Amino acid sequence: MPRNRVSTVLILGGALLLALAVSTATAQTTANGPYYATPSWDQTLPSNTRFIVLSNMGSNAVLDRETGLVWERSPSHGGTWNSAQDYCNALSVGNRKGWKLPTIQELGSLVDTSAPPTNLPSGHPFTNVNANTPYFSATNHHAGPLFGSPSVWALFFSNGGAILAFKDNTIAAWCVRGGQGVDLQ
């Protein structure tokens, strides 16, 4: 008899977990669902369906349905690479932590060179993006220090190009959630 009770509890527990998983998938956004396309880096979505401003994060974050990444809607940090890392690691948007500096490839996923002068996809929902300043990435330059100083890859949106930047430079940072995490190469 005790076995039957345990089995019933496990089944109810499984049903409860399924119900919780289903309820989290219906996050409120500014667009009608479905909210999440299966990220696939070979797909190209138009801006009006690619980006969704997430109202459940106070409209301060944007889901990129093409890559599955969630970006700050308005990048606002400028400083050294270490301060950018600290800023992203401590960031809370919509009461959610888990932000990081993007890799150079993740930053590059936002570039659309057919849309100058910002080279961001036409109709994007981002604000406060300065195309004329580089943005730090988490991707280290592995060939060794540049002129004796540690360097990382950064991205200029004005030309969509990746450059090397000293970690002690003061430039912009744009935090992201999801993706591949820190540079392990």
- Encode the chain (185 residues) as per-residue pLDDT tens digits: 444 333 333 333 433 333 333 333 333 345 545 555 566 666 788 888 899 999 999 999 999 999 999 999 999 888 999 999 999 999 999 999 999 999 999 999 999 998 989 999 999 999 999 999 999 999 988 765 556 678 999 999 999 999 999 999 999 999 999 887 654 43
Domain that holds residue 121: 29-177
Nearest to 136 by CA among 176, 167, 173, 111: 173
Burial of 115 (0-12, 13-18, 19+ CB in 10 A): middle
pLDDT at residue 169, as a whole number: 92
CA atoms within 13 A on the CB side of 97: 4
| Residue 104: count of CB within 10 angstroms of its CB | 22
Residue 13 lies in a domain: no
Q: What's the CA gap between 98 and 17, in Å, rounded?
A: 23
- Where do the DSSP E strands lie in the chain? 51-53, 61-64, 70-72, 77-79, 134-140, 151-156, 161-166, 171-173, 176-177
Q: What is the CATH number of the domain that holds 133?
A: 3.10.100.10
What would the two tokens of residue 96 be? Answer: 């959610």
Residue 183 lies in a domain: no
The secondary structure of residue 57, as a DSSP letter, is G
Q: What's the CA gap between 23 and 3, in Å, rounded?
A: 30
Please tell me whether residue 18 adopts helix, strand or coil conformation.
Answer: helix
Residue 24 lies in a domain: no
Could you tell me which residues are beta bridge partners of residue 171?
79
Residue 103 lies in a domain: yes
- What's the number of domains the chain is made of? 1
pLDDT at residue 124, as a whole number: 94
What would the two tokens of residue 138 be? Answer: 């988490």
The 3 state secondary structure assigned to 159-180 is CCEEEEEECCCCEEECCEECCC
* Total-model pTM: 0.75
Residue 9 lies in a domain: no
What would the two tokens of residue 142 be? Answer: 């592995």
Residue 8 lies in a domain: no
Residue 184 dihedral angles phi and psi, to the nearest 5°: -105, 5
Residue 18 lies in a domain: no
Residue 11 lies in a domain: no
CA atoms within 13 A on the CB side of 16: 6
